[in-house]
């Protein structure tokens, strides 16, 4: 405080002034100022790279995620996963502090790896970085090599690493980098010309739904296609409560990941979160390589099953055909509750494409489509998707806009429903529009991650969630004379 600063009296805003601003922030004028923002981001719908890296790092059997950098970051990632999945989320870090900023983080990494290895006996320690070592330029290739040479960890312990600076990309890019790094590490020297495991390598991408992963596996089992999920979060983030805590409750077997290079087919179920991984796989893996859209709704699920059938020469079993029929039955039965309804959708690129595709199938209108950090390429792909249906004609795409922008959209040009993660609840409340929670993270409702939103079953779940909520609202808000038994 400078000496010349005068002392001011504590003031209160007048009720009129508060009322004026309260109304003003819902106006077109405010929306314009809001959209003119260039520097300030308010309520983003994305997180940082190392979070995504941790999702991959935790999804291999016996794998201990290891954060190279500040300890607070590690705690934030662990808390985020534990809040979303309501599950343990083990990860350790080398707790770099000021001296690390000056001397680099090698000493921390040595000690951290040594302690993590002897305390937690992991089969693999994937390392990923926070901002700090990225800014000071730590050389992880050298550090990890040195750690092994100096005997802090055994030479043969897999320690893949990924550079995951938070000032670049989002959590989906960290997912991509870490997966690429782990696969590069584990498959090195494993390729055998002419050998084929006959298996499908299925890459789910950054997916906060363990239900989705289980659904992929159920479908593959039904089709009798052998598979390796790269990487399988389902048993890690959806483990049984049986009286025994397991630090490593499951995940993709390291041998299976190593063998994946000799697979028959590698299929990515998300495009934007697997770009670099698929580039690596294109260059090195045997077999076919396919990138599929997430199987939201009927047609994308059809595409998925037909592709599997085509690639593996297996028929689509009657059971799945019946499931399709039941899902279509549910959709035709309930189409009237969604037809023509407008939606705002926010989330990660691959999820957005899937959700919009489903809405178009229902005759619903994807109206405000928002991704808070992505590329022109995504915008183009979304535009093309909207153009496939008359119901897409009103859809407007907002890239690199945040949930405060979305609030302005919702209050000036309202919709019937919002689809997004928990963070969208503030805008939803202000606009008095119901929020349907699909995405990551969901930290204010239980068990959402356990129910698949992909596949035929997923379509029924989403449809039921939305239609029944609309009917609840009608029952709760209609005047007496319009309240009736049937809906």
Unique residue bearing structure tokens 């897999």 = 158
User: Contact between 115 and other proteins (CB under 8 A)?
Assistant: yes
Among 149, 193, 194, 241, which residue interacts with other proteins (rule: CB under 8 A)?
Answer: 241
Judged by CB, which is closer to other proteins: 86, or 289? 86
Nearest CA-CA partner of 323 in 419, 452, 432, 450: 452
Q: Give just the sign of the alpha carbon dihedral 159, 167, 82, 84.
A: negative
User: Contact between 363 and other proteins (CB under 8 A)?
Assistant: no
> Cβ(208)–Cβ(448) under 8 Å?
no
Q: What minimum distance in Å lies between the beta carbon of 285 and other proteins?
A: 30
> Cβ(371)–Cβ(45) under 8 Å?
yes
How many angstroms separate the Cα of 401 from the Cα of each of 37, 249, 253? 10, 38, 39
Among 27, 28, 29, 33, which residue interacts with other proteins (rule: CB under 8 A)?
Answer: 33
Judged by CB, which is closer to other proteins: 80, or 210? 80
User: Contact between 54 and other proteins (CB under 8 A)?
Assistant: no
Binding mask 154-193 for other proteins (x = CB under 8 A): -----------xxxx-x-----------------------
Q: Which range touches other proteins (CB under 8 A), out of 62-70, 181-189, 328-336, 475-483? A: 62-70
Q: Is 135 a catalytic residue?
A: yes
User: Contact between 18 and other proteins (CB under 8 A)?
Assistant: yes
Among 104, 123, 136, 289, which residue interacts with other proteins (rule: CB under 8 A)?
Answer: 136
Site for other proteins in 440-459 (CB under 8 A): 443
Q: Which range touches other proteins (CB under 8 A), out of 64-72, 204-212, 278-286, 375-383? A: 64-72
User: Contact between 22 and other proteins (CB under 8 A)?
Assistant: yes
User: Contact between 40 and other proteins (CB under 8 A)?
Assistant: yes
Nearest CA-CA partner of 228 in 249, 207, 251, 210: 251
Judged by CB, which is closer to other proteins: 238, or 323? 238
Give the span between the Cα atoms of 425 and 442, in whole angstroms: 10
Among 42, 306, 322, 384, which residue interacts with other proteins (rule: CB under 8 A)?
Answer: 42
Judged by CB, which is closer to other proteins: 132, or 230? 132
Among 189, 194, 243, 313, which residue interacts with other proteins (rule: CB under 8 A)?
Answer: 243
User: Contact between 151 and other proteins (CB under 8 A)?
Assistant: no
Task: Give the distance, in angstroms, between the CA of residue 307 and the centroid of all CA atoms in the same chain.
Answer: 24
Among 4, 16, 38, 156, which residue interacts with other proteins (rule: CB under 8 A)?
Answer: 38
Q: Is 345 a catalytic residue?
A: no
E strand or H helix that includes residue 254: helix 254-259
Judged by CB, which is closer to other proteins: 244, or 376? 244
Nearest CA-CA partner of 201 in 311, 105, 321: 311
| CB-based contacts of 149-152 (< 8 A; 24+ apart in sequence) | 150/110, 152/110, 152/111, 152/113, 152/114, 152/117
Among 54, 106, 130, 252, which residue interacts with other proteins (rule: CB under 8 A)?
Answer: 130
- List 21, 135, 196, 478, catalytic entry: 135
Binding mask 418-437 for other proteins (x = CB under 8 A): -----x--x---x-------
Q: Give just the sign of the alpha carbon dihedral 397, 204, 361, 411.
A: negative
- List 127, 131, 265, 291, catalytic entry: 131
User: Contact between 80 and other proteins (CB under 8 A)?
Assistant: yes
Q: What minimum distance in Å lies between the beta carbon of 47 and other proteins?
A: 5
User: Contact between 111 and other proteins (CB under 8 A)?
Assistant: yes
Please give the size of the binding site for other proteins, defined by CB under 8 A: 94
> Cβ(235)–Cβ(250) under 8 Å?
yes
Crossing angle of the two packed helices 455-477 and 318-338, in degrees rounded to 10 = 20
Among 150, 195, 246, 396, which residue interacts with other proteins (rule: CB under 8 A)?
Answer: 246
Q: What minimum distance in Å lies between the beta carbon of 301 and other proteins?
A: 32
Count of residues making up the chain? 487
Give the span between the Cα atoms of 338 and 342, in whole angstroms: 8
Q: What minimum distance in Å lies between the beta carbon of 376 and other proteins?
A: 16
Site for other proteins in 369-388 (CB under 8 A): 373
N-to-C CA span, the chain: 65
Nearest CA-CA partner of 366 in 415, 320, 326, 406: 415
DSSP secondary structure letters along 189-200: TT--TT-----E
Among 53, 59, 113, 223, which residue interacts with other proteins (rule: CB under 8 A)?
Answer: 113
User: Contact between 210 and other proteins (CB under 8 A)?
Assistant: no
> CA angle, 456 as apex, 453 and 458 as ends, to 5°?
15
Judged by CB, which is closer to other proteins: 10, or 486? 10
How many angstroms separate the Cα of 229 from the Cα of each of 184, 190, 387, 451, 452? 16, 18, 33, 18, 16
Among 54, 63, 106, 108, which residue interacts with other proteins (rule: CB under 8 A)?
Answer: 108
Q: Name the region of 468 (left: φ>0; alpha: ψ -120 to 50; beta: rest).
A: alpha
Query: What positions carry a catalytic annotation?
Result: 131, 135
């Amino acid at each position: 405080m400078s000496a010349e600063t005068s002392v001011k009296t504590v003031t209160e805003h007048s009720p009129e002034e508060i009322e004026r601003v309260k109304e003003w922030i819902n106006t077109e004028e405010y929306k314009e100022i809001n959209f003119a923002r260039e520097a300030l981001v308010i309520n983003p719908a994305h997180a940082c790279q190392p979070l995504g890296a941790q999702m991959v790092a935790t999804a291999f059997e016996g794998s201990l995620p290891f954060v190279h950098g500040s300890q607070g970051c590690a705690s934030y990632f662990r808390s985020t996963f534990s809040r979303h999945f309501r599950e343990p989320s083990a990860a350790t870090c080398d707790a770099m502090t000021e001296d690390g900023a000056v001397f680099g983080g090698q000493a921390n990494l040595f000690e951290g790896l040594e302690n993590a290895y002897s305390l937690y006996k992991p089969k693999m320690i994937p390392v990923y970085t926070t901002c700090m070592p990225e800014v000071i330029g730590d050389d992880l290739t050298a550090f990890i090599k040195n750690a092994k040479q100096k005997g802090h960890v055994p030479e043969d312990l897999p320690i893949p690493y990924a550079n995951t600076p938070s000032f670049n990309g989002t959590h989906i890019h960290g997912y991509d980098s870490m997966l690429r790094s782990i696969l590069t590490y584990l498959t090195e020297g494993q390729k055998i010309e002419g050998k084929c495991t006959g298996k499908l390598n299925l890459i789910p991408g950054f997916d906060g739904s363990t239900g989705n992963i289980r659904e992929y596996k159920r479908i593959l089992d039904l089709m009798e296609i052998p598979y390796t999920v790269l990487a399988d979060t389902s048993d890690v983030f959806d483990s049984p409560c049986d009286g025994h805590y397991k630090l490593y409750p499951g995940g993709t077997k390291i041998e299976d990941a190593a063998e994946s290079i000799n697979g028959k087919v590698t299929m990515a179920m998300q495009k934007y979160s697997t770009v670099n991984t698929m580039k690596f796989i294109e260059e090195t893996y045997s077999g076919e390589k396919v990138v599929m859209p997430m199987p939201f709704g009927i047609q994308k699920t059809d595409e998925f099953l037909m592709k599997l059938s085509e690639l593996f020469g297996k028929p689509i079993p009657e059971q799945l055909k019946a499931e399709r029929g039941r899902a279509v039955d549910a959709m035709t039965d309930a189409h009237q509750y969604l037809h023509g309804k407008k939606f705002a959708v926010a989330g990660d690129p691959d999820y957005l494409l899937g959700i919009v595709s489903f809405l178009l199938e229902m005759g619903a209108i994807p109206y405000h489509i928002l991704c808070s950090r992505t590329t022109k390429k995504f915008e183009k792909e979304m535009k093309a998707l909207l153009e496939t249906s008359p119901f897409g004609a009103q859809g407007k795409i907002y890239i690199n806009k945040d949930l405060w922008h979305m609030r302005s959209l919702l209050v000036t040009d309202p919709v019937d429903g919002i689809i997004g993660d928990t963070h969208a609840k503030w805008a939803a409340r202000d606009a008095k529009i119901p929020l349907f929670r699909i995405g990551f993270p969901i930290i204010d409702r239980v068990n959402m991650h356990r129910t698949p939103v992909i596949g035929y079953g997923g379509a029924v779940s989403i449809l039921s969630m939305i239609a029944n909520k609309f009917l609840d609202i009608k029952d709760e808000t209609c005047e007496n004379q319009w309240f009736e038994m049937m809906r």
